[in-house]
Amino acid sequence: MGELDTKIDAAESALAQVVRESRCLITKMQNERALLEEQVDRTMAYLSPIRRLPSEMLRDIFLWSFEEHPCCAWVLAAIRLVTTQNASADTIRLWLERSGDTVPLDIEIFRQVINPVSDTESSSRRHRRSLSRTPSPPPWSLSFSHNQSLATHYVNVIPHTPLTQAGVTILPPAQTPILLHPHETWIPAPHLSDRPTVNPSRASLHWGHIAIYYLTEQMHRWERFIFRFDKQFSSMGALKSISGDAPLLREFEVSSAEAAFYPEWQWLPNAPSNTTVVLPKLQNVTLQYTPFKWSSPMFRTNLHTLNLRALPTSHLPLDRILYIVANNLELENLTLHFQGVLPAVLPLSPIKLPRLKKFHIGGHTLLSQLIDELSLPALTHLSLDFELRNPIEDTILNLLSISGAPHLTHLSIAYGTASNSASFYYGTGGVTITWTGLFPEMPHLVSLRAGGTPLEPLLAALAPPDEESDQATGWFCPKLQELGMRNCHAHSEGVVKLVQLVEARNPEIGYGTTPQVNGVTATRLTKLEMYDCAILGEDVVQWLENRIAEVICTEPDFDR
């Protein structure tokens, strides 16, 4: 019996030795094959047709390209893929396969539909538009205002023009400098408007599911993931499959320009609080009109930039919104917009964000209570867009006081596209901004934008003191360079006060200087925006353009 066991052990050892030797031989042959494949690839690259061109000709081609397009170096170094929702999603699979297995991925998908001007538009509206120097900002401006510049160490911004058809642009790997934007039309490529319109098909119905499936398989390589769309589409539910670890991910954004109603997706922003999620490098999160949970681990990664625009159906208690902020004390840029807010369940605790420079907040009036709990000593940009019931200047002054009088340079009040003339309530029992009480605390203000406020008090506060007034007050906001107003209702004296303000701050070159008040000379205005405020007339607009470098004016609707 023992002898038989010994023979069995010897046979098994011999078999194991044969297996080891065979595996070693197979591994050696696989390495040799990989080396040969690499040599073949290098040989094919060496034999590339472009190498047959003389160096002098290549140099001239590059010089000519730079003369016509200064950014051609970034375009020529990029891999460019332009597709539509009706195209095959297998193209994405192809690019992912070509990108290899280790290169970090920089992914951008933009899905936009811009409708042409309706043929039924009234002639009076067309006439008013023709008098406007520049149209009002598009509906995307508020939602995506903090990501207009897409420049990173991988990506460079390229000039663009409006898109006229639905399109999707996908960024392949970020190993080479790339910017694929749906508005690019100036580089040599088939223009989207030249392509025939494709009716909805199975490709459009399932495009999102197929594309997101391939992309999610490579989530471990994501370094930057941006998905933006302006309207709901049939396969948008595919986004809920985005879940798992992303050890390289630095920036994550899923944004919709249209508010919609979603079920509670089980995706990364909705992960339970006790879920272990590997996101060690995540610094930038933007979720706009997409579902998320206040307790998601995604919001506990010490973010530097956070942009949240909640769904209209979302109603969070105020203390839970503050909880999100409290878990990211290194924030430098914070944007919060909640239409539905409930009173706090737990007591609110003061929070200091020592590095926060840009703070944008809007939506429900209860959010003003959140501002009262914040200390922002590094604040430079403040944007408020509330349904206000109380004087907003008290909230602002309290914030500046608690924060130790930071050097605020940019202020926006009810100027976003989410606001309108009803954002502030004026008249009997309404709320009026006391600019003369607010401006003395903002000596460093460079840019001011206001919406839904009476025009005359604002312009009067920025003008120089009257001879009969107390000269000790001096100039308010002497460093102001940009002034924007939207839906600021003007009365009979509105246009007169505007001209007086510009005459005082921007005297005609060679015919006078800005008057000094208490030894302070006001900075000249460089930009003036007026959207739907007053009917100025072409003569006034021309006069303003002669005094101010950039003037943007649109006239109010007569039927408003």
Please name the residues in contact with 418: beta carbons below 8 A apart, sequence gap of 6 or more: 142, 337, 362, 363, 385
Return d(Cα 315, Cα 340) in angstroms, integer: 5
Last residue of a domain, one of 408, 433, 455: 408
- Distance, in Å, from the CA atom of 357 to the CA atom of 379, rounded to the nearest integer, reads 4
pTM above 0.85, yes or no: no
pLDDT in tens, 367-377: 999 999 999 99
Buried-exposed string 238-252: b where 16+ CB fall within 10 A, e elsewhere: bbbbbbeebebbbbb
Helices (H) and strands (E) counted in the chain, each on its own, are 13, 21
501/544 Cα distance (integer angstroms): 11
How much is the average pLDDT of 354-366? Answer: 94
Residue 118 pLDDT more than 60? no
450-492 pLDDT, tens digit each: 988 888 999 999 988 765 555 456 789 999 999 999 888 887 7
pLDDT in tens, 315-334: 999 999 999 999 999 999 99
| Residue in 506, 486, 500 with CA at minimum distance from that of residue 553 | 486
550 plus 447 within the same structural domain? yes
Domain count, the chain: 3
How far apart CA 343 and CA 268 sit, in angstroms, is 27
Specify whether the CB–CB gap between 292 and 265 falls below 8 A. Answer: no
- Where in the sequence is the domain holding 376, given as residue range(s)? 314-393+401-408
Residue 302 phi, psi (nearest 5): 60, 60
Check whether residue 160 and residue 95 sit in a common domain.
yes
DSSP conformation letters of 271-304: --TT-----TT--EEEEESS---TT-GGG-S--S
The pLDDT-based confidence of 124 (bands split at 50, 70, 90) is very low
Q: Which of 395, 406, 392, 479 is nearest to 443 (CA)?
A: 479
**Together in a domain, 151 and 213:** yes
Q: Is residue 112 part of a domain?
A: yes
Q: Please check the confidence at residue 423 and state whether its pLDDT lies above 50.
A: no
d(CA 327, CA 492) in angstroms, rounded, equals 51
Are 354 and 331 contacting, i.e. CB atoms less than 8 angstroms apart? Answer: no
What was the pLDDT predicted at 298? Answer: 93
pLDDT at position 420:
36
Query: Could you tell me the pLDDT band of residue 51, with boundaries at 50, 70 and 90?
Result: confident
Q: Are strands 358-363 and 333-338 parallel, antiparallel or unpaired?
A: parallel
HEC assignment per residue over 120-159: CCCHHHHHHHHHCCCCCCCCCCCCCHHHCCCCCCCCCCCC
pLDDT for 349 beyond 90: yes
The mean pLDDT of the chain is 77
Average pLDDT of span 11-16: 90
Average pLDDT over residues 125-150: 37
Q: In the structure encoding, which two tokens stand for residue 415, read together?
A: 């100027």
pLDDT at 68 over 90: no
Mean pLDDT for 441-448 is: 95
Per-residue pLDDT, averaged over 10-24, amounts to 90
- Whether residue 224 sits in one domain with residue 168: yes
Q: What's the one-letter identity of residue 64?
A: W
Predicted local distance difference test score (pLDDT) of residue 242: 93
| Tokens representing residue 402 in the block | 């608690």
pLDDT, tens only, 495-548: 999 999 999 899 887 555 666 666 678 899 999 999 988 888 889 999 999 999
What is the SS3 assignment for 410?
Answer: strand
Single out the residue in 408, 437, 461 at which a domain terminates. Answer: 408
Of 408, 431, 452, the residue that ends a domain is: 408
3-state secondary structure of 447: strand
Q: Is residue 334 exposed (0-12), middle (13-18) or buried (19+ Cβ within 10 Å)?
A: buried
Q: What is the pLDDT of residue 546?
A: 92
Same domain? For 430 and 318 the reply is no
Q: What number of residues does the chain have?
A: 560
> Are 151 and 171 in the same domain?
yes
Segment of 51-55, 159-163, 233-237, 350-354 carrying the highest mean pLDDT: 350-354
pLDDT at 76: 61
Per-residue pLDDT of 435-444, as tens digits, reads: 999 999 999 9
With CA atoms as reference, report the closest residue to 280 among 260, 294, 300.
300
* DSSP element (H, E) containing 395: helix 392-402
Are residues 109 and 161 located together in one domain of the fold? yes
In 10 A of CB 142, how many CB atoms? 23
Report if residue 6 sits inside a domain.
no
Report d(CA 457, CA 453) in Å as an integer: 9
Does 320 lie in the same domain as 201?
Answer: no
Q: Are residues 186 and 268 in the same domain?
A: yes
Mean pLDDT of 260-270: 81
The reply to whether 26 falls in a domain is: no
434 and 551 housed in the same domain = yes
Residue 417 lies in a domain: yes
In a domain, 61, yes or no: no
- pLDDT at position 110 is 80
Q: How confident is the model at residue 143 (pLDDT cuts 50, 70, 90)?
A: very low
Does any domain span residue 53? Answer: no
Residue 87: pLDDT above 60?
yes
User: pLDDT at position 490, please?
Assistant: 81
| Residue 181 forms part of a structural domain | yes
Percent of the chain topping pLDDT 70? 73
Q: Which of 13-22, 185-194, 236-245, 506-515 has the lowest mean pLDDT?
A: 185-194
Q: Poorest-confidence range of 142-151, 193-202, 263-272, 405-414?
A: 142-151
Residue 179 in this model has a pLDDT that exceeds 70: no
CATH number of the domain that 422 lies in?
Answer: 3.80.10
Please report the beta strands in 457-512, taking only residues with DSSP state E, as ranges in sequence order: 482-486
Cβ-contact 338, 321 below 8 angstroms = yes
Q: Are 443 and 458 in the same domain?
A: yes
Is residue 355 in some structural domain?
Answer: yes
Average pLDDT over every residue of 389-408:
90
Instruction: Give the integer Cα–Cα distance in Å for 397 and 94.
Output: 56
Residues 456 and 360 in one domain: no
Residue, of 550 and 80, whose pLDDT is higher: 550
Most confident stretch, 67-81, 130-144, 179-193: 67-81
CB-neighbour burial class of residue 320 (10 A; exposed 0-12, middle 13-18, buried 19+): middle
List of residues 6+ apart from 390 with CB closer than 8 A: 365, 368, 431
The residues that bridge with 196 in the sheet, in sequence order, are none
Helix pair angle (494-505, 455-462), 10° resolution: 20
Q: What is the pLDDT of residue 80?
A: 54
